[in-house]
């Protein structure tokens, strides 16, 4: 994997760059659509290629439980299983496991959890999580870490930092030992890309700057290919989040990609980019779309509102996506209210198009040293309720 910084803003720490994995080049900053269960809901892989920069995120926890790693491995890996010849990042599933609360027990060895599907118990160690992702054929692999709730005590967070660091060391050792060749595939392009595998590290530390600094120092002392900031998308106070994000990002190496996990509203992306963040993922744009929320050039639009019942204009008058060029607010409102799958598809297509375009415009504004001017425009739009 090669990461290059092409240009840094003269106004702030915002930067444009590229991640090259095999023959695939990903421009940064980049937004990664989330395909939790090996699909971005309602869309085909071919459609997602057009609505992304060639990288998506899937979830280790969910794929481990269903359909099971054996099924995906027999198919030749996740790329082949879902017919995706671009980049796949898989998160460790740690966030999902720890979200089970009372169904989870953690010690220094790993985490025991109960499946939300059938109630059976499972045990994730750092090594097992890496082995699963290698079998999936993930291109960017995330290690098991221990996220903490925003109100966690200093003592609890400190233990989490130590555990995350120890798990990181075990993870990279396992990665180096087990990153083995897989069965050859008929689809040569997919076979080639799935054998390009890299491991990122995850920084924790909650809302304590000294613990964030310790975590950065410990995680960045390990030879990871990139670094992620975890624990900042769990419902914490916005201004406090921004303060910790800016502080943490400033400590990370400049020559490797920086990934902010689970954050994906326009206003959050704008701030994070100003801090030098390169990669984003979030389920919110697609999940909110299925509930009728459009992100548009004039702000958020809840298409379920009655005022759109006889509104035959496009969802976004300034958008060139398939949805906006062909369908009206009134029709999509009808579909969403009727729980028709086409409605979910149309909102998802538009929202992914919007975020792809947003990231492209962000990169252009950084290149032209007018990022603050562009940021002000976006923030003004999304501070208005539609």
Helix, coil or strand: residue 22: coil
CA distance 16 to 278: 8
Sequence-separated (6 or more) residues with CB below 8 Å from residue 79 = 85, 88, 137, 190, 193, 194
Helix, coil or strand: residue 370: coil
In sequence order, the β-bridge partners of residue 16 are 7
Choose the catalytic residue: 85, 145, 278, 281: 281
32 — phi, psi (to 5°)?
-105, 115
Sequence-separated (6 or more) residues with CB below 8 Å from residue 220 = 201, 203, 227, 251, 252, 253
- CB 226, CB 258: distance < 8 Å: yes
Residue with tokens 């803003």: 9
Calculate the CA dihedral of residues 197, 198, 204, 209 and round it to 10 degrees: -160
* Active-site residue flag, 91: yes
Choose the catalytic residue: 85, 91, 268, 278: 91
H/E stretch holding 294: strand 293-296
**Angle at the Cα of 45 (from 294 to 260), degrees rounded to 5?**
60
Closest CA to 241 of 219, 268, 262, 220: 268
Instruction: Classify 93 in phi/psi space as left (phi over 0), alpha (psi -120 to 50) or beta.
Output: left
> Considering just the CA atoms, what is the radius of gyration of the chain in Å?
21
**Exposed/middle/buried for residue 337 (C-beta within 10 Å: 0-12, 13-18, 19+):** middle
Distances (CA, A) of 238 to 23, 141, 235, 273, 288: 38, 28, 8, 16, 20
**Exposed/middle/buried for residue 107 (C-beta within 10 Å: 0-12, 13-18, 19+):** exposed
Active site residues: 91, 281
């Amino acid at each position: 994997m090669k990461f290059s910084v092409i240009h840094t803003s003269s106004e702030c720490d915002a930067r444009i760059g590229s991640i090259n994995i095999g023959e695939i080049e990903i421009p940064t900053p980049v937004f990664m659509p989330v395909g939790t269960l090996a699909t971005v809901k309602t869309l085909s892989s071919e459609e997602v290629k057009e609505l992304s920069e060639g990288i998506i995120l899937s979830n280790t926890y969910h794929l481990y439980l269903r359909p099971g790693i054996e099924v995906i491995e027999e198919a030749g890996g996740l790329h082949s299983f879902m017919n995706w010849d671009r980049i796949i990042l898989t998160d460790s599933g740690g966030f999902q496991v720890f979200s089970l609360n009372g169904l989870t027990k953690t010690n220094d060895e790993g985490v025991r959890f109960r499946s939300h599907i059938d109630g059976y118990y499972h045990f994730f160690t750092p090594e097992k999580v890496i082995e699963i992702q290698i079998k999936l054929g993930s291109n960017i692999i995330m290690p098991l870490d221990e996220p903490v709730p925003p109100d966690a005590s200093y003592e609890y967070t400190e233990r989490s930092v130590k555990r995350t660091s120890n798990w990181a060391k075990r993870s990279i050792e396992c990665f180096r030992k087990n990153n083995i060749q897989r069965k050859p595939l008929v689809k040569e392009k997919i076979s080639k890309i799935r054998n390009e595998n890299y491991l990122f590290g995850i920084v924790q530390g909650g809302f304590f700057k000294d613990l964030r600094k310790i975590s950065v120092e410990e995680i960045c002392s390990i030879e990871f290919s990139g670094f992620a900031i975890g624990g900042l998308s769990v419902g914490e106070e916005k201004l406090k989040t921004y303060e910790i994000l800016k502080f943490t990002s400033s400590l990370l190496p400049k020559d490797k990609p920086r990934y902010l996990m689970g954050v994906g509203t326009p206003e959050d992306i704008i701030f994070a980019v100003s801090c030098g963040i390169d990669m984003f993922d979030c389920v919110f744009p697609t999940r909110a779309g299925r509930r009728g929320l459009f992100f548009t050039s004039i702000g958020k639009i809840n298409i379920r509102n009655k005022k759109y019942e006889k509104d035959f204009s496009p969802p976004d008058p300034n958008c060139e996506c398939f949805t906006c060029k062909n369908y009206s607010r009134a029709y999509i409102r009808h579909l969403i209210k009727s729980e028709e799958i086409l409605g979910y598809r149309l909102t998802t297509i538009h929202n992914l198009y919007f975020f792809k375009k947003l990231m492209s415009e962000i990169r252009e504004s950084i290149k032209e040293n007018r990022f603050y001017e562009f940021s002000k425009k976006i923030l003004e739009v999304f501070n208005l309720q539609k």
